[in-house]
Structure 1
């Protein structure tokens, strides 16, 4: 894939295969002036406000709000022991239905107003712990009684090193904010791939999920999976499976998924893996995944950059689109950057990366997926 040219008006990819032509067209961009890393995790359409984080100068993380032009509205590091603060690092952020801000740490669910004043705090006992250096998008559901349930298992985070088997494993934990009780759901046995997965894959495994914009569906896959599973978000009843046809994920073609069958180099896995799910309000879904990397290419990149990982290399990220329970595209390259989130009207927000020089601002492009 050619790297993104920052002066270009749009990035266009036409997929020529048995699938319809798909284009990613750039419709706008904005920049956020910051010497420190900024990530955007959610968008409140009514007020056109973005929610994200800023890595602060003391190596902490600030909760940040930005307007549609990238202007910073407020940004605070609330890590501490004060009455308005959280006592452990943030692992998740999201807007609530009314535009307040949900936050999550390994032991707390927090609700802040737009001025970052604490409204309420719920303590819970986690069944698992994961190391997360920056917060990710937080997901909340309603249970059959209409109570808020915050998903405490963060999407695309390795969380199953404790597992002794997959038969009794739940992929996702959620905290009922009324009772404060954490409960596991989405049994691994309800996901077909686990019937041929060895338990030695547990350290490579993560749950990957998103909620539909209307909140009615929970869309789930795993890091090693050839299907997407759709659940009713209230009852958690399984509704549908969608087959995935990756163009470059050879491990899934094996009859047995085992660590010994994965291509490796110095304990580094070279296999592809599923990375994220994105959902729009018109029923379209997108799977973001990492392609396989060959040993020769990996050795070369590792020699150039000792910490090289395909997850941080936009050239190895691909999108696959789905609609009405079927795959409707092949692999789609993305502009040179990192997808932040899906926006209304079939759009994606992408943090654009200049590979040639370090800049004192963060550039974000909005791309429309056109069919």
Structure 2
């Protein structure tokens, strides 16, 4: 099945550029589970997926083969070696093929059967506790030998700026050292085009979004309310490039300053548009997932029918934008019906979870899509 996406790009006063992209379904698979399972990483050497049960607050970890068969499953909630009660901020494979979990204060390693190997406590000056939003770790080995490690301790979309009166001295990403050395920050907010437009009332909603680049030692950074992606070399801490984002429909920028009063709300819910996820693919490609705003009357009708509804979880409001190198190469691309973008895969592929909330199923459906340019 193909989802053909014809895109017209308007770049200010520049000529219209016509680009054609396809999300071409490569294959699909099912996970036999009555509980929702979120895949967060892939280990190419052994074709394994790593996931967690979404409604366990991340304590139930699952190793799957490439067809979705469950190979290992373990509830890691508790106390003692290999157990934890705090939030699981990161879950992923290491380069050695082990399973790594990062909590706000613990670095925990397991084998592929989820048997406990080791753990280390690290100093965290600003621990962030999350719920049901673990993602693949952002890790960097500055010496290239695996002995010294730097990492981010909070996942994307964490409300790390809540309670601050200014973002003048804040950055989007802080790298910690497992060995207790000094941390460092990248992505200073004061240097971003949106900085002067942000009112303090939206600081809790202005959340970092980041992912490791495919090139060693690079990190891609944006934020929930932002119109730029910055690429930073973690070895030199220098800026590699700035990439402008031209959303098709991002009404959060319609009024300046951007404040809690300027954004549409249905108390206590915000109805605004936000950047959601940033994924690096092969061939120097980046994919931004953002969701559009929803009209007040429509949200009111939706939530009356389903009290748990929010448009951030509705594929009809999500759009993808593709970047190559330091340029945007598509406009808004629609997601396939009922799809949620999960992770990038080797070969320029995207893994999507497919959930039809109108149908009760005793399995979790996933699909893999090739992102193909026909230019």
Note the C-alpha offset of 1:60: 6.5
Residues 355 and 308 of structure 1: is their aligned pair in 2 closer, same or farther, counting only changes over 3 Å? closer
Q: Which of 344, 347, 357 is the matching residue for 2:346?
A: 344
Note the C-alpha offset of 1:91: 2.1
1:101-148 alpha-carbon deviations (Å, 9 max, x no partner): 211112212122222233332213431423323422221123368621
Unaligned 5+ segments in structure 1 are 1-9
Equivalent in the alignment of 2:369 = 367
Equivalent in the alignment of 2:13 = none
Indicate if the aligned counterparts of 2:7 and 2:330 stay in contact, CA closer than 8 A.
no
1:37 paired with 2:36, answer yes
Q: Secondary structure at the match of 1:14?
A: strand
Indicate if the aligned counterparts of 2:81 and 2:119 stay in contact, CA closer than 8 A.
no
How many residues matched?
361
Q: Secondary structure at the match of 2:79?
A: coil
Note the C-alpha offset of 1:224: 0.2
2: CA distance, partners of 1:59 / 1:257: 32
Equivalent in the alignment of 1:209 = 210
1:142 paired with 2:112, answer no
Give matches, 1:94-173, under 5 Å. Answer: 94-126=92-124, 127-143=126-142, 147-173=148-174
1: CA distance, partners of 2:309 / 2:186: 35
Q: Secondary structure at the match of 2:301?
A: helix
2: CA distance, partners of 1:343 / 1:273: 24
Note the C-alpha offset of 1:270: 1.6
Indicate if the aligned counterparts of 1:122 and 1:180 stay in contact, CA closer than 8 A.
no
2: CA distance, partners of 1:153 / 1:29: 31
1: CA distance, partners of 2:293 / 2:142: 38
Residues 129 and 60 of structure 1: is their aligned pair in 2 closer, same or farther, counting only changes over 3 Å? closer
1:283 paired with 2:284, answer yes
Note the C-alpha offset of 1:355: 3.1
2: CA distance, partners of 1:179 / 1:128: 15
Note the C-alpha offset of 1:11: 4.0
Note the C-alpha offset of 1:180: 6.6
1:314-342 alpha-carbon deviations (Å, 9 max, x no partner): 11111000012111111111112211101
Q: Secondary structure at the match of 2:195?
A: helix
1:196-242 alpha-carbon deviations (Å, 9 max, x no partner): 21222111111000011233310000000011111112222112111
After TM superposition, the score normalised by the length of structure 2 is 0.90
2: CA distance, partners of 1:137 / 1:153: 11
2: CA distance, partners of 1:310 / 1:180: 42
Note the C-alpha offset of 1:31: 0.5
Indicate if the aligned counterparts of 1:144 and 1:235 stay in contact, CA closer than 8 A.
no
1: CA distance, partners of 2:359 / 2:182: 48
1:330-359 alpha-carbon deviations (Å, 9 max, x no partner): 111111221110111111111111232111
